[in-house]
Amino acid sequence: MIKTYFTITSILFITSLGWFPDLNAEVNKTEEVAPGVYFHEGDVGRRGHCNNGWIVFKDFVLVVDANFPSGAKEVIPKIRAITDKPIRFAFDTHHHGDHAYGNQVWFENGATIVAHEGALMEMKKYETGLFGSVPGRWEDTAKNREDVANSKLKPPTLLFRNEMIFDDGQHRVELLHFGTAHTRGDGFAWLPKEKILFTGDACVNGPYNYTGDGNITAWEKTLLIAQKLGATTICPGHGPSGDGTVLADQILFFNSLMAEVKKLVNEGKTEAQVKESIDAIKASLKKQDRLQRYVGSFFLDQVTQAYREITGTTGDKKKTASLPHKPTDRSTVIGRLE
Ligand SMILES: [Zn+2]
């Protein structure tokens, strides 16, 4: 099994080194999940890329996720190999670099950038000094990624609050927001005819759950709402596509993680003691075959986040505060978006 590693400036803003396995050999291949609907699994391990989707409407192409600039440049020729229709919209499922830093590339190719309004709010807060605040993750990432250094951050300009619908009689794509999950501005792309759901990082298929910008409790609730759509094909933010069990497994992972940590909290364990029990928690989750692939290098952060949510403590904020933005007015954001 090939293993590769991320740096701090890499896609998920991890604060420790993480090792992700290549889960299958389908990375960088275009998959037609339904007529005119495509899924492309990005190379997260080596290049930090997210997955992409695109839907070929009668008159234009809608792309799901902007990826990093290098990811956008990887995917554009693959779209062009299928259709010469204009790429008119690129939808950021959330504000993170691996999903939104390629916006400028799509813009230069004629696209308008679409996102839930929370994605723009979080982008302003965390990603950049563009809006007059201190430099953020974009500027940090640019120090280590040439593709980012050679581009610029293009924020989304076409925003939706609850939903935005594209329908030309042939294809219907509903961009939906169900509340806080991976971030406070997550959007899903739902294709009701084909029962295909593009989830962004609200649902992943592998050990990619970064919980530092979201809320696990709200996340699980949001996924349960998304599950009611009845998708039969899940196109996740990272990892291979699959059937509805991908979403079910993602929900079970958070549910089981919270249950394990709750057990320890009820026994009166402190945060430090819970962290000491990490191997036991891991072993317990891994007993369920369906959860094994979710347990990876973010596990300690996930357990810590779970502990803090359950106990209502904030802990040492250093991990997220290594990003130079103050986590001050977040409660207002949560109030508006949850
Ligand atoms: Zn991602």
Token digits for 86? 């204009």
Residue 303 burial (CB count, 10 A): 22
CA of 49 to the centre of ligand 1 (A): 8
Q: Binning pLDDT at 50, 70 and 90, where does residue 4 land?
A: very low
Per-residue model confidence as pLDDT tens digits over 111-122: 999 999 999 999
Flag whether pLDDT at 231 surpasses 80: yes
Q: What average pLDDT does the segment 261-266 reach?
A: 98
CA of 147 to the centre of ligand 1 (A): 17
CA of 249 to the centre of ligand 1 (A): 18
Q: How far is 170 from 167, CA to CA, in rounded Å?
A: 7
Per-residue model confidence as pLDDT tens digits over 193-217: 999 999 999 999 999 999 999 999 9
The predicted pLDDT at position 129 comes to 67
CA of 109 to the centre of ligand 1 (A): 22
Give me the numbers of helices (H) and strands (E) for the chain, helices first please.
14, 14
The predicted pLDDT at position 332 comes to 29
Whole-number percent of the chain with pLDDT over 90: 80
CA of 212 to the centre of ligand 1 (A): 12
Mean pLDDT of the chain: 87
Q: What average pLDDT does the segment 137-151 reach?
A: 94
CA of 242 to the centre of ligand 1 (A): 17
Q: Binning pLDDT at 50, 70 and 90, where does residue 67 land?
A: very high
Q: What angle do CA 40, 244, 36 make, to 5 degrees?
A: 40
The predicted pLDDT at position 267 comes to 97
Which position has the token pair 């192409």?
A: 61
Q: How far is 71 from 136, CA to CA, in rounded Å?
A: 21
Per-residue model confidence as pLDDT tens digits over 174-192: 999 999 999 999 999 999 9
The answer to whether the pTM exceeds 0.75 is yes
Ranges of each domain in the chain: 3-254, 256-337
Flag whether pLDDT at 82 surpasses 80: yes
Q: Binning pLDDT at 50, 70 and 90, where does residue 135 land?
A: confident
CA of 257 to the centre of ligand 1 (A): 20
Q: How far is 15 from 12, CA to CA, in rounded Å?
A: 9
The predicted pLDDT at position 132 comes to 66
Q: What average pLDDT does the segment 291-317 reach?
A: 91
CA of 210 to the centre of ligand 1 (A): 8
The predicted pLDDT at position 331 comes to 31
The predicted pLDDT at position 127 comes to 84
Q: Binning pLDDT at 50, 70 and 90, where does residue 128 land?
A: confident
Q: 173 and 165 in contact (C-beta within 8 Å)?
A: yes
**Maximum C-alpha span of the chain:** 61
Q: What average pLDDT does the segment 11-19 reach?
A: 36
Flag whether pLDDT at 134 surpasses 80: no
Neighbours of ion ligand 1 (CB under 5 A): 50, 98, 201, 237
DSSP 123: I
Q: How far is 319 from 270, CA to CA, in rounded Å?
A: 19
- CATH of the domain spanning 3-254, picked from 1.10.3720.10, 3.30.420.40, 3.30.2230.10, 3.60.15.10: 3.60.15.10
